[in-house]
RNA sequence: GCGGGCGUGGUGUAGCCUGGUAUCACUCAAGCUUGCCAAGUUUGUGACCCGGGUUCAAAUCCCGGCGCCCGCACCA
């Protein structure tokens, strides 16, 4: 299915449509409708099953707005602020810092000066003034002289700034995996292609923290997962992840683990394996924080779509937040704990001896190494502090390091779109969404064969019973039974339950399976157990 | 942001050049009918992206905005 068809299906059946539609829409923003919400819910549920249950992630739901200092530390304030110039003749846009030699480290002013003597590289026309854009949405927090705040450009920062808290809640243990599902905001210059490039989007993300000297190895159930890898150098190949790491095609076992885990998840939501590949970023397309990055890409009608990035972010983020905030973001390295004996001032003795001068002495020695017998200058003279002015303190100290982090980050909206495209099936007149049971928007369609003879009433009762049992049932009595099946097929409902005269007699219903259209007659209780996920 | 194309019920469209408030199909709703795969039939709901201009009169012509598609650039 192509882009146009997805959009039209989405609007017709209630998956999504442009936001603020009555006012002509707003580029880059979308509303998810009744069916879309259900569908998203099912994807999220499965994702949580993989990552929260499977991997034992702690969950976080961070605030969307953060202070300027946070994004200064994360690097987004400077990295998202690109200087632009435009050719006044041919209207081509250039990144000023790439156009000017050595523009990388220049200030805006220097760059502006340098550009004055330059012209357009392609047509030699004259260049416009420097303009800047920042991809972050800014806002004012509070009344009057409010503080400047920004909508987060990635959910990750919520986790990073929470790291000391989360580490404590994990009872100071590493590794530590934290997951978060939430929205992020980027003021894209030109959002295109609907859900694929939005200004407000949902990320499903894990930050998997670990100590580099203690990197988790690949769990046995993932080692054999076979992936199509496209490294930034050399030929693409298909191999299992254990070999890929062993042969250094993938440079980190935890990155490898997450590539395999991400693929397992993608297959479970119905992405066909043959439409999936893992492409390594070139050095020059890597984000400012990234050491290595592999994109999970799905083949669609508009090309390969990146739906997940697995990035090795090193210790970049924790280090910047640690240094910027002054809070401890490091953790002790296990096995490096050692007993340290050191001298500290005996303030009591000092006070008795030196009275009012004691405070001055404390100040003087603040930055000095404390040893009995040390000499200090005081009031023009030199005095020696004997052992009586010191106490021996014995403490345990460990080597402290910033943990590294590997981050699988899914774009829910892109995945949503890609599933719709790849799951769409056409067979003559018939067209349907061949979604796996686990992500079908509804568990079952409940339909009376006809509305007469109390069948509708009985069907409604059954529908309510299903809902009370936690089954996501959808009731439909309108139109011929074939039409109702067709409607259900189009939103990917996996089962259809039909209530007929026999139901009134013996309590059985027919269950129809979407893809095969096969029907079987079963007692309602059996049907109930088949419908759960 | 730039250049080109485009914007008509829920969906897909005709009409636009040559101004006179709109075509067709599907969908949807109500009824009849049928009773397990989009059937038939009757009735019905529902649209000219927004704003301004020209004109007696604008879906139609002109200008601006917004949105969509393609290309350029951008894509952490």
In a domain, A424, yes or no: no
Measured from the CB, is A288 under 7 Å from any atom of strand B? yes
In a domain, A332, yes or no: no
**All residues at 6 or more sequence positions from A366 whose CB lies less than 8 Å from its CB, including other chains:** none
In terms of domains, do A208 and A307 share one?
A: yes
In terms of domains, do A465 and A513 share one?
A: yes
The percent of residues in chain A predicted with pLDDT above 90, rounded, is: 67
What is the reported pLDDT for A123?
62
DSSP A429: T
Window 190-219 of chain A: CB closer than 7 A to strand B: 190-194, 197
In terms of domains, do A52 and A102 share one?
A: no
Window 42-81 of chain A: CB closer than 7 A to strand B: 79-80
Task: Give the CATH number, domain containing residue A455.
Answer: 3.40.50.800
In terms of domains, do A264 and A152 share one?
A: yes
Q: Is the pLDDT of residue A435 over 70?
A: yes
Mean pLDDT of chain A: 89
A5 CA – B53 C1', rounded, Å = 38
In a domain, A333, yes or no: no
In terms of domains, do A227 and A346 share one?
A: no
Range name among A20-24, A81-85, A331-335, A421-425 with the lowest pLDDT average:
A81-85
In terms of domains, do A68 and A88 share one?
A: no
| Farthest-apart Cα atoms in chain A, separation | 111
In terms of domains, do A219 and A310 share one?
A: yes
In terms of domains, do A89 and A181 share one?
A: no
Tokens of A198: 């939005």
What is the reported pLDDT for A316?
93
Residue A14 φ/ψ, nearest 5 degrees = 90, 30
In a domain, A326, yes or no: no
Closest C1' nucleotide to A450's CA = B35
In a domain, A323, yes or no: no
Measured from the CB, is A510 under 7 Å from any atom of strand B? yes
Measured from the CB, is A20 under 7 Å from any atom of strand B? no
A91 CA – B61 C1', rounded, Å = 30
Angle at A24 between CA A22 and CA A29, to 5 degrees: 95
The percent of residues in chain A predicted with pLDDT above 70, rounded, is: 92
What is the reported pLDDT for A86?
67
Q: How many domains does chain A have?
A: 4
Residue A227 exposure: Cα atoms within 13 Å on the Cβ side:
36
Q: How large is the average pLDDT for residues A412-418?
A: 96
Q: Which residue is nearest to nucleotide B65 (CA to C1')?
A: A24
ipTM, 2 dp = 0.92
Q: Where are the beta strands (DSSP E) in A152-225?
A: 176-185, 200-210
In terms of domains, do A130 and A144 share one?
A: no
Q: How large is the average pLDDT for residues A464-493?
A: 95
Q: Is A320 helix (H, G, I), strand (E, B) or coil?
A: helix
In a domain, A171, yes or no: yes
- Contact (CB, 8 A) for A155 and A62: yes
Q: How large is the average pLDDT for residues A453-467?
A: 94
Q: Is the pLDDT of residue A12 over 90?
A: yes
CA A349 to chain centre: 57
In a domain, A59, yes or no: yes
Q: Which domain holds residue A8?
A: 3-72+138-318+404-416
Measured from the CB, is A495 under 7 Å from any atom of strand B? no
Measured from the CB, is A188 under 7 Å from any atom of strand B? yes
Task: Give the CATH number, domain containing residue A304.
Answer: 3.30.930.10
In terms of domains, do A370 and A275 share one?
A: no
A479 CA – B46 C1', rounded, Å = 20
A22 CA – B19 C1', rounded, Å = 27
Comparing CA positions, the residue from A128, A130, A125, A131 lying closest to residue A89 is A125
In terms of domains, do A143 and A246 share one?
A: yes
| Domain boundary, last residue among A97, A118, A134 | A134
Window 399-458 of chain A: CB closer than 7 A to strand B: 429-432, 449-452
Closest C1' nucleotide to A135's CA = B76
In terms of domains, do A216 and A104 share one?
A: no
Closest C1' nucleotide to A75's CA = B76
Measured from the CB, is A378 under 7 Å from any atom of strand B? no
Which nucleotides of strand B lie within 7 A of protein CB?
1-3, 7, 10-12, 27-30, 34-39, 49-50, 65-76
- Do β-strands A200-210 and A424-427 pair in parallel, antiparallel, or remain unpaired? unpaired
In a domain, A330, yes or no: no
């Amino acid at each position: 299915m192509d882009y146009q068809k997805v959009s039209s299906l989405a609007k017709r059946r209630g998956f999504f449509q442009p936001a603020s539609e009555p006012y002509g829409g707003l580029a880059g923003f979308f509303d998810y409708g009744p069916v879309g919400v259900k569908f998203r819910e099912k994807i999220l549920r499965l994702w949580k099953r993989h990552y929260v249950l499977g991997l034992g992630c702690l969950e976080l739901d961070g605030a969307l707005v953060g202070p300027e200092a946070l994004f200064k530390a994360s690097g987004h304030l400077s990295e998202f602020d690109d200087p632009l110039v435009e050719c006044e003749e041919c209207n081509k846009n250039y990144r000023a810092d790439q156009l000017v030699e050595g523009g990388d480290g220049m200030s805006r002013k220097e760059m502006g000066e340098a550009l004055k003597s330059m012209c357009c590289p392609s047509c030699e026309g004259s260049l416009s003034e420097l303009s800047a854009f920042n991809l972050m949405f800014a806002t004012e927090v509070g009344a009057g002289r409010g503080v400047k705040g920004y909508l987060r450009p990635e959910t990750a920062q919520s986790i990073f700034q929470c790291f000391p808290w989360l580490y404590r809640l994990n009872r100071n243990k590493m590794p530590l995996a934290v997951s978060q599902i939430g929205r992020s905001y980027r003021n894209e210059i030109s959002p295109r292609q609907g859900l694929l490039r939005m200004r407000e989007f949902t990320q499903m993300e894990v930050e998997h923290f670990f100590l580099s000297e203690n990197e988790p190895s690949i769990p046995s159930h993932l080692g054999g997962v076979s992936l199509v890898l496209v490294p930034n150098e050399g030929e693409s190949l298909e191999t299992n992840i254990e070999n890929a790491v062993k042969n250094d095609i993938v440079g980190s076992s935890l990155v490898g683990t997450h590539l395999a885990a991400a693929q397992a998840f993608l297959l479970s939501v119905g992405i066909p394996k043959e439409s999936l590949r893992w492409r390594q970023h070139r050095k020059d397309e890597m984000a400012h924080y990234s050491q290595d990055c592999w994109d999970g890409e799905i083949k669609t009608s508009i090309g390969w779509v990146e739906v997940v990035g697995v990035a090795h972010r090193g210790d970049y983020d924790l280090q910047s937040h640690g240094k910027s905030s002054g809070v401890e973001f490091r953790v002790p390295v296990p096995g490096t704990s050692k007993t340290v004996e050191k001298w500290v001032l005996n303030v009591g003795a000092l006070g008795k001896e030196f009275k009012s001068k004691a405070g001055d002495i404390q100040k003087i020695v603040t930055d000095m190494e404390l040893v009995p017998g040390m000499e200090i200058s005081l009031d023009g003279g030199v005095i020696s502090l004997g052992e009586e002015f010191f106490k021996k303190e014995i403490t345990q100290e460990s080597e402290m390091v910033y943990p590294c982090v590997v981050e699988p980050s899914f774009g829910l909206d892109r995945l949503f779109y890609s599933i719709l495209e790849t799951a769409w099936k056409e067979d003559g007149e018939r067209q349907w969404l061949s979604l796996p049971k686990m992500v079908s928007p509804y568990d079952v369609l409940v339909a009376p064969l006809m509305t007469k003879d109390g069948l509708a009433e009985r069907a409604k009762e059954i529908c309510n019973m299903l809902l009370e049992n936690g089954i996501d049932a959808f009731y439909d009595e309108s139109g011929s039974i074939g039409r109702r099946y067709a409607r259900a097929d189009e939103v990917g409902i996996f089962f259809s339950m039909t209530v007929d005269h026999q139901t009134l007699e013996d309590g059985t219903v027919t269950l129809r399976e979407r893809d095969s259209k096969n029907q079987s007659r079963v007692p309602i209780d059996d049907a109930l157990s088949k419908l759960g996920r």
